Structure 1
Amino acid sequence: MIQGFRKLFQSRIGVFLALAFVGVIALAFASADITGGSFGGIGGGERVAAVGDQQISTSTYRETLNGAFEQARQENPTLTMQQFLDGGGRDGVLDNMVERMAIYAFALDHGLRIGDSLIGSELKDIPAFQGPDGKFSQEMYTAALQQRGISEKLLRTDLGQGLAARMTLVPAQIGTAMPEKIARQYAKLLNETRKGSVALIPSEAFAKDVKVTDKLLQSYLASNRARYSLPERRTIRFAVLDKSGLEGVTATDAEIAARYEQNRAVYSGKEGRTLTQLVLPTEPAAKAVLAEITSPSQMGAVAQGKGLSTTQIVAADRADLSAKTSPAVTQAAYEAKEGTIAGPVKGPLGWYLLRVDAVTRTNERSLAQVRDEIAATITEEKRNRALADRAAKAEEELNSGASLAEIARSFGKEVATTAPLLANGNPFANGAAPDPQVLRIVPAAFAMSEDSDPQIAIAADGQSYIIYAPGKVTASAPPPFAEIKPILDRDYRLKEGSKQAAAAADKVLAAIRQGKSPAEAMKLVGKPMPPVDNIDLSRQALMGSGREVPAPLALMFTMAKGSTKKLEAPRNLGWMIVDLDDIVTQDVAADDPLVLATRRQLGPQIGGELGEQLTQAIIADVGVSRNDTAIKAVIDQLVGNR
């Protein structure tokens, strides 16, 4: 839809930014509130961009970048700010902000208004603001905003911009269709067959002649340190505070009796009723029908004879029936005996006649009958409180400077240590998987320094607490040289061999372009080479394989007839010569099902292009300018360059 987002789809934050643009705003996709303080020598109000008569301040840009970075870190805990910015965050976030603001300004200038009620309806659909019942919860809303540090004003502004973008761009894309003549041309491509060859000049053929020394390999390792580095891993020391030792905490007789009295209504008997009701518009009409009923069982027949119908109601108790109708109707129904007709009585829809078809009663449960049930509930509550008291005491000891071992000893617990773990909680190498109770605190443990004080948190099961501290921290670094020397030797030889393979490929390429066949040209390499692969393949067969298209075939299907190109194989494995001899294209009839399928498939793409063009036109109309100096200052501050 938007050019900037199309580029970003290939980056690690692309999807996040695209979703944020169309207004699917979750808390993780919003920036923090605009601050008025200074920022690394830049005034908080200084702009990084101007959109029409609106400005994007340095503080807003910084906080939005931070918000996007934190969201990306949830998917990749080891992601650094520098990697995030290099992966598209620097320009992508600002592009997103500029485009949203431009479309919003354009929409307002042309009479589009986003009312508070519309924004409110959007807020109610955000899962982060919904309670356990699936409905909007003011408490969840307030807590979520506080947790993310987002003001309600900023959130509503962001939602308003997203709604304006949808209302402006979506209509431009509705009803778009691919013209039949263009669809035929695309469909013909599927029937296209390409004939040629692919020749491989492997680096391995030259690698064995490469001279290698330890000094060369050490220099190669120094230049490619990140490639051979093992990830950071660390152990976690922990002790679990659970309910063990609280077996003596139980419910007393007095507590059980008090709870029974407190919830007497829960244990009292209930009287349910099954009713057949007939609703008439006026009281005289209801009385007239009642007069014709000589037996309660005839109510349905009498109603049917007058073109009326009855309905059945099943109520578990008075409260249930009252919720379905009205207190007056409920009272009349419960005053009537089984097998009789109550009414007429005025209700919400008119005047009611109610036949009591059945009365069901549940016996009251005595204290003796529910004693064990109540005792179990109270015991669980008391043990939970006792465990919470333990956790509070442990937290006090932590605040007083007690060590993990001291706190564990005071509660009769032992300190355990995990095997080395990665930032995602997986064991390093072939290490043992961590205790399930530890998994929840792994991200927090990786955010701590090696000498950090112990912390306490709720364990993964939600029923106990865990006191934890970092153990041994092993920074990311390559293994010892001697351990990876064979790997370095292989990779270095392939790297140097690839250079010689590239030179040989150039020689082969030149010979083919001078008229030699690929097989003849490959003899010029002067070394045994794999045989040339002849290709005779249709595009439809290529796409229908269901597998990733190999790079040389993908290149062949983009080349001009009679051309030859050189392509590097991945991981320094060699070079390929792709030669295209002929392109055979079969005509496609206008009524061919393939044309219809192509129109359906590519139709939405036209809508996307129209939306993109409209967006770029809006930006040009509104006018955008950027302050590169301020942008650089924000980036430098985030990566610690000042």
Structure 2
Amino acid sequence: MAAIFRRMSKSTIGTALMVVVLLAILAGFALQDIQSVGSGGLGFSQGTLVKVGDSAVTERELSSALQRRLTEVRQQNPQADYASLAGEFDQILEALVQVRAVREFARQNDLHISKRLIDAEIVKLPGTRGLDGKFSDAAYQNFLQQQRLSDAEVREMLGGALASRLLLAPAAANARIPVGVATHYASMLLEAREAEIAIVPAALFAAGVPQPTEADIQAFYKQNSANYMVPEQRVLSFAQIGPEQVAKVAVTEQEIAAYYKANQALYAGKSTRVLSQAIVQNEGQARALAQRARASGSLGSGSASLGAKTREELARIAGEAVAAAAFRARQSDIVGPVRSDLGWHVIKVDAVRNEAGKPLSAVRDEIEAKLTPEKRKEALTDLVTKVEDSIAEGASFAEAVRGAGLSVVRTPAITAGGVARSQPGYKLPAQLAPALAAGFDLNEGDEPVVETLDGDAGYALVGVEEIVAAAPAPLASIRDQVAADWKARQARDRARTTASAIAAKVASGTDMAAAIAGAGVRLPPPEKVAKRRIELSALGGRVPPALGMMFSLAEGRSRMIADPQGRGFVIVQVTKIIPGNASLQPGLISRTQSEFQQAAANEYAEQMSKAMLAAVGVKRDDPAIRAAKKRITGGN
């Protein structure tokens, strides 16, 4: 409801908390400065886009946030690519800057986030609980691997989120809006309006547009080249280091035998005794009890069954002396009395059970099945280490791959979304998708890197072979599209001319229907619309421009507006305004007051955030930001 008066979705602090916390915690972004595309100038280090106090927001960090956002968008639109995020680029960058500023402000003012506070947040992360519903370190490690984060990165990010909560929440607490102010805005919600709306569709003018000349196409392409920008493309090489590379690793007979020998507790025979016992505190009573038991064959009602016990188990319960005596006896023997720390024991051996051990031949396959995955995992780790050591010692991608005996997958020129414009049907192997971002984080000439793949796919060595800078698509490859766009522009221009003439007549007092009739083009008749402002709140912020203009103009005034999708133009004339009166609707006043108090809280938090930005100092490398946007999304 309050969104009618203020676009809270554009609240800077709201954007920061929504975008960064969701994208960073659940999807993750790198928090270290890693060399990327350098810009030079202003004292910025290579890869830095914005300096925030003594820290920085890097291109690697932004690229990772955009990658995670793209993953989210693709859940709704599988065909989405980085170009579709161009409109969110500045918003996400600003969110990263603000959260970094809060963290820096906390540091400068000695607000330290303890390890215990961060630990409490880690256990709340999705995917960190085991089957029992409790935090599991194994689940947490799997979460880190899936999100391609380290524990240190998660802790740094959560520290920033906690600092935001501790610093911004108090500033936003207890916001209050007077009833008088809420009543005024509640009455606005009840305001009713009537208007006439005329539509001038651009499609009605398309039939009269001639085919463009070559000169027209050339000029239009030159003037609008930014609309045909192709994001940066790269030719990448991948070498997967996974289960296939260690499939031939096998356990030797010596290793199987060594494991069998080291785990005799699992495979050796076992001797147990089923026992009953009675314990008394006097030796004389114990002797008398033992004598009666030998005569009757029973310890009597005062005894207790111990069940089946090994010698070691009995020793832990009653002591070594009792265990030794019990295991020297035969079945049905009465043992004792024997003294322990518990008293005097009289024991009956109810049964003797001897279980034969398992020979190596019987458990060989079982041991092999257990040891093989472990050995292959170690071999895979050794192979990754060998590749990384080779790269660290100066080997090229080709040399490292050859030395490790790996197969190479070479891509055509692809975008950061994995799309190959030269090969529309190309699909990057699904298991390599997690390593794609690493390929776009590297600079030309950087050493190849090893990236962890999802699940059990292992790892991938990633190298850059060629970088194709973002640039407009060649005219020859999009000539038909440019020609169609030129014709659509001509149709819109003609529609604008007609709509402007109608709007001018209406503004000078001509009846809208008469103005349309005199336009010289067969147009739809004007539509009479009656709405209350409160109805717009049900649209959830997706208010059509014509209705928005209807509630912006004074009575009798008119205005022409363009359709946001370029489909034509709309002329709106407000014919009647009926003021609302909320004095008899206390429930509406209360709801309006509550919503405006939340809006006020957001405003206070936003102002606090801006003050922190000013306090820590922010310097933007605008050329680097523009270059990053062009490289990643192809936008300007």
TM exceeding 0.5: yes
Shift of the alpha carbon at 1:583? 4.1
Change in 2 beyond 3 A, CA 1:460/1:121: closer
Partner of residue 227, structure 1: 227
Which stretch has the larger CA shift, 484-493 or 445-454?
Answer: 445-454
Match of 2:62 in 1: 69
Letter in 1 for 2:166: A
Distance 2:179 2:550 in 1: 28
> What amino acid is aligned across from residue 366 of structure 1 in structure 2?
K
Aligned to 1:165: 167
Q: Is contact 2:191–2:580 with CA below 8 Å preserved after alignment?
A: yes
Paired AA for residue 484 in structure 1: I
The answer for unaligned runs of 5 or more in structure 1 is 1-5, 34-38, 45-56, 274-293, 298-314, 322-326, 336-345, 347-360
- Aligned residue in 1 for 2:330: none
Q: 1:95 to 1:362 in 2, by over 3 A?
A: farther
> CA 1:410 to 1:28, structure 2 compared with 1: closer, same or farther past 3 Å?
closer
- 1:378-431 per-position Cα deviation (integer Å, ceiling 9, x unaligned): 122223333444444555665677676676667766544446543123565631
SS at match of 1:259: helix
Residue 197 of structure 2 is matched in structure 1 by 197
Cα deviation code 1:264-308 (max 9, x no counterpart):
55568899x9xxxxxxxxxxxxxxxxxxxx9899xxxxxxxxxxx
Match of 1:384 in 2: 377
Structure 1 residues 496 and 555: alpha-carbon distance in aligned structure 2, compared to 1, 3 A threshold: same
Is residue 191–residue 586 contact of structure 1 (8 Å, CA) maintained in 2?
yes
CA contact (8 A) 1:204 1:494 kept: no
Q: 2:244 & 2:158 partners in 1: Cα distance?
A: 48
Aligned to 2:290: none
- Kept in 1, the 8 Å contact 2:449–2:462? The answer is yes
Do structure 1's residue 15 and structure 2's residue 15 form an aligned pair? Answer: yes
2:119 & 2:377 partners in 1: Cα distance?
A: 39
Structure 2 distance, partners of 1:270, 1:560, is 98
CA distance in 2, matches of 1:59, 1:547: 33
Q: Secondary structure at the match of 1:582?
A: strand
> SS at the partner of 1:505?
helix
Residue pair 1:172, 1:607 contacting (<8 A) in 2 also: no
1:603 aligned to which of 580, 594, 606: 594
Farther off after superposition, 409-418 or 217-226? 409-418
Aligned-pair CA distance for 1:199: 2.7
Write the distance in 2 (CA, Å) between the matches of 1:575 and 1:220. Answer: 22
Amino acid at match of 2:358: S
- Displacement after TM superposition at 1:577 (Å): 0.5
Change beyond 3 A, Cα 1:565–1:61: farther
- Partner amino acid, structure 2, of 1:522: I
Partner of 2:213: 213
Q: Which amino acid aligns with 2:619?
A: I
Report deviation, 1:610.
Answer: 4.3
* SS of structure 2 residue aligned to 1:504: helix
Q: Is the 8 A contact 1:28 1:67 kept in 2?
A: no
1:564 has 2:555 as partner = no
1:570 and 1:316 mapped to 2: Cα distance?
A: 82
Distance 1:562 1:518, change over 3 A: same
Rounded Cα–Cα distance in structure 2 between residues aligned with 1:186 and 1:415: 66
CA distance in 2, matches of 1:14, 1:546: 17
Q: Distance in 2 between matches of 1:156 and 1:247?
A: 40
Contact preservation (8 Å) 1:21, 1:96: no
Q: Deviations along 1:62-88, whole A, 9 cap, x unmatched?
A: 5146686355343368979xx899825
Structure 1: how far apart are the matches of 2:425 and 2:405?
28
1:87 aligned partner, one-letter code: D
**Is 1:87 the counterpart of 2:66 in the alignment?**
no
Match in the other structure for 2:619: 631
TM-score, normalised relative to structure 2: 0.62
Q: How far apart are 1:227 and its partner, in Å?
A: 1.0
Deviation at 1:481, TM superposition (A): 2.5
Which residue pairs with 2:545 in the alignment?
Answer: 551
Q: Classify 1:163/1:377 alpha carbon distance in 2 versus 1 (closer, same or farther; 3 Å).
A: same
Q: 1:252 and 1:124 mapped to 2: Cα distance? A: 42
In the alignment, is the contact (CA less than 8 A) between 1:420 and 1:427 conserved in 2?
yes
| Amino acid of the structure 2 residue aligned with 1:208 | G
Amino acid at match of 1:172: N
- Match among 549, 574, 578 for residue 580 of structure 1: 574
CA distance 1:553–1:61, change in 2 (3 Å): farther
2:196/2:528 contact within 8 Å kept: yes
Question: Which of 456, 460, 466 pairs up with 1:462?
Answer: 456
Mapping of residues 383-402 of structure 1, within 5 Å: 383-395=376-388
Residue 164 of structure 2 aligns with an amino acid whose one-letter code is G
Quick one: which amino acid aligns to residue 424 of structure 2? N
Aligned Cα RMSD in Å? 6.2
CA spacing shift, 1:581–1:248, aligned 2, 3 Å:
closer
Superposed displacement of residue 566, structure 1: 0.8
CA distance in 2, matches of 1:316, 1:225: 86
Larger mean Cα displacement after TM superposition, 238-247 or 476-485:
238-247
1:624 positional shift: 5.9
* Contact residue 195 and residue 535 of structure 1 kept, 8 A: yes
> Aligned letter for 2:90?
G
Cα–Cα, structure 1 residues 635 and 365, in superposed 2: closer, same or farther, change >3 Å? farther
Give the Cα–Cα distance (whole angstroms) in 2 for the partners of residues 430 and 151 of structure 1.
37
Tell me the CA shift for residue 31 of structure 1.
6.5
Deviation of the 1:445 alpha carbon? 2.3
Work out the number of aligned pairs and report it. Answer: 538
Which AA in structure 2 matches 1:216?
A: D
Contact 1:207 1:496 in 2 (8 A): no
Alignment of 1:487 onto 2:481:
yes
* Cα shift at 1:442: 1.4
Matched, 1:134 2:129: no
1:582-620 superposed Cα distances (whole Å, 9 cap, x missing partner): 3457877846xxx64774476143134046348748988
Cα 1:541–1:28 change in 2 (3 A) is closer
- Structure 2 residue 503 is the aligned partner of structure 1 residue 514: no
Q: In structure 2, do the counterparts of structure 1 residues 135 and 241 end up closer, same or farther at CA, with 3 Å as the change threshold?
A: closer
Question: Paired residue for 1:290?
Answer: none
Distance in 1, Cα, partners of 2:381 & 2:102: 50
Residue number in structure 1 paired with 2:358:
366
Deviations along 1:210-242, whole A, 9 cap, x unmatched?
784322321221222221233444454444445
* Distance in 2 between residues matched to 1:505 and 1:473, nearest whole Å: 47
SS in 1 for 2:218: helix
Structure 2 contact 100–160 (Cα < 8 Å) conserved: no
Residue 533 (structure 1) aligned to one of 512, 527, 552: 527
2:202 maps to a residue whose letter is P
Tell me the equivalent position of 1:305: none
Alpha-carbon contact 2:172-2:604 (below 8 Å) kept: no
Structure 2: distance between partners of 1:404 and 1:32: 25
Report the 3-state secondary structure (helix = DSSP H, G, I; strand = E; otherwise coil) of the residue aligned with 1:493.
Answer: helix
CA–CA distance in structure 2, aligned partners of residues 96 and 167 of structure 1: 14
- Determine the C-alpha separation between the residues in 2 that align with 1:129 and 1:123: 13
Q: Name the SS of the counterpart of 2:376 in structure 1.
A: helix
CA distance in 1, matches of 2:610, 2:447: 51
In structure 1, the residue corresponding to 2:528 is in which secondary structure?
A: strand
Rounded Cα–Cα distance in structure 2 between residues aligned with 1:69 and 1:79: 12
**In structure 2, how many angstroms separate the alpha carbons of the residues matched to 1:614 and 1:412?**
57
**1:567 Cα deviation after fit:** 0.3
d(CA) in 2 for partners of 1:235, 1:243: 26
Distance 2:158 2:458 in 1: 38
